[in-house]
Structure 1
C-alpha cells in the first residue's frame, strides 16, 4: 500500500493527514503501538515462564522488558528522526 502510494501517486504530493484519507489517524497508530507492546510483553511473560517455571520471575522479566523496550524505542525513534533518507 505504501509502495503503491509512492509509485503511482508520486505527482499527488499530499501534505497532511486530512488530505490523505489512506493514512492512519495518529490515535490509531498509538492504539496499535500499545496493543503490539502488550502482545510482545505477554510473549516475553510466557517464554520466561516456560524457561523458569516461576510466574513471579517471569513477571519480573516481562516488567523489566516492557520498560527497557519503551526506552530503547524512544531512542530508536529519535535517531531515525535525524535520518533524512525517505523524508
Structure 2
C-alpha cells in the first residue's frame, strides 16, 4: 500500500506538469495569458483533488497485485 504522503507528492508533481501544459494550451487557444492561466489554475485544482481520490481508491484494490 502506498502512503498518503507519497500519493500527495506524486499528485503535486503531476499537477505542476499539467499546470504548465494547460497554461500553454490556454494561451494558444485564447491568446490571453490571464485567461489561459485561470484555465490552468482551475484545471490543476480539480485535477489534483481527483488524482488524489483516484490514487487512494486504487491503493485499496488488490486486483492485479502480486504480494
Q: 2:52 pairs with 74, 78, 82, which one? A: 74
TM-score, normalised relative to structure 1: 0.57
Task: Give unpaired runs (5+ residues) of structure 2.
Answer: none
Cα distance in 2 for partners of 1:49, 1:83 equals 39
Q: How many residues align?
A: 60
> Which structure shows the bigger proportion of residues in helix conformation?
2
Larger Rg: 1
CA RMSD in angstroms comes to 2.3
- Note the residue ranges of structure 1 that are not aligned, 5 or more in a row: 1-25
Q: Which has the higher contact order (CA 8 A, sep 6+)?
A: 2
Moved over 2 A (4+): 32-37
User: Is 2:37 aligned against 1:63?
Assistant: no
